[in-house]
Structure 1
Amino acid sequence: MKTTFVFAHPWHGSFNKAILDTAVKKLEEQGKEYHIIDLHKENFDPVLREEDLALYSKGDTTDPQVKEYQEILKDTEELIFIFPIWWYDLPAMLKGFIDKVMLKDFSYIETKTGLQGLLTHIKKAKVITTSESPSWYLVLFGGNVIKKAFIKATLKGVGVKDVQWINSSYTTSGSNEKRNSFLKKIDRIFS
């Protein structure tokens, strides 16, 4: 099974990068294939520009990086998103990735009853996030953007249905012990 990571954090000294490194190490130990889409290090342009919007309804783009990412996703069976929750939402870089890469006729088609997802070859996904707020607060007061909008609407809309959300709360203010405990959890999840 080929795993693809979509990593959306600008700093490689971050806890998000430690999460990515932990997961990748487990896959390497198991001899599994993986690919990392590191949106910041690859200088992905998340802005949907006028020339792209002109092609949007046709499911096309002028951005060669979008086409490259689509080719990677075509060969993906497990999709892992790793990102911080900022302002109770996805980072702009990841939102731009969704806007530009998940195009019509690649990730979905429109039907009379709504979207029909085309990425059904992706058998499972994990959304691994970090936040300063506790997970219960994100669910209760943050409107639960991650679970309701990103997982149950966006990912489901493109055909990705078996999705697990794992969040590290109090990531900045918490103790090293708490962060290390979370990394052990990630280690177990990828075992």
Structure 2
Amino acid sequence: MTDYLDSTRESWTTVAEAYAEEARNGLDFKPFSRAMLAVFAELVDGPVADLGCGPGNTTAYLHKLGLDVFGIDLSPGMVAVARRAHPHLSFDVGTMTALDLPEGQLGGVLAWYSIVNTPPKDLPAVFAEFHRVLAPGGHLLIGFQVRTETRHITEGFGSTVSLDFHRQPPELVASLLRAAGFRMVAQLLREPDDTERSQQAHMLVKKDDF
């Protein structure tokens, strides 16, 4: 686990500025993503953690929807960019595999395409952490790319990197979420647009009230 976390942290820090510039207006062209985020915002009651927040664009979007939201990212470079771009919000460095957050205090968790660098064997531990930090009745929204393959890249955004992108079948992710103690609320599977290689999945799940 340490090896992939280290390479992921270093790679995203290397490309943080370039990625932030490219992703700056990404949600403007994603109506289905905005719709799922709006539903999430309507259902959530309490503070929200945007885990794997990157440059903070989606964190800021949820804030505009009225949520009390903060961001956490593995990459110090991404956190620095997010803090500069959104100084009115809170961003910290951390890992989804071991969150420095108290148990049962959050109304919502967002993992918006932030599990894509996590190997499938480590997803149960990550989902268990999501479940741990959510209060009873809390909601989790996940976005991810659909396929059954891992793609390794050594160059991205004009720099040398070492990143694995894991594309998951929805039925596997749904099964792992149920095993972690979540109940499915809604699923959206859509076809790729002109900028994407594969189908996209959004899953909204809930931690039971007891």
Shorter-normalised TM-score: what interval? Answer: 0.3 to 0.5
More strand by share: 2
Which structure would you say has the larger Rg?
A: 1
Give the alignment's TM-score, normalised by structure 1.
0.43
Larger relative contact order (CA 8 Å, sep ≥ 6) = 1
Give the alignment's TM-score, normalised by structure 2.
0.40
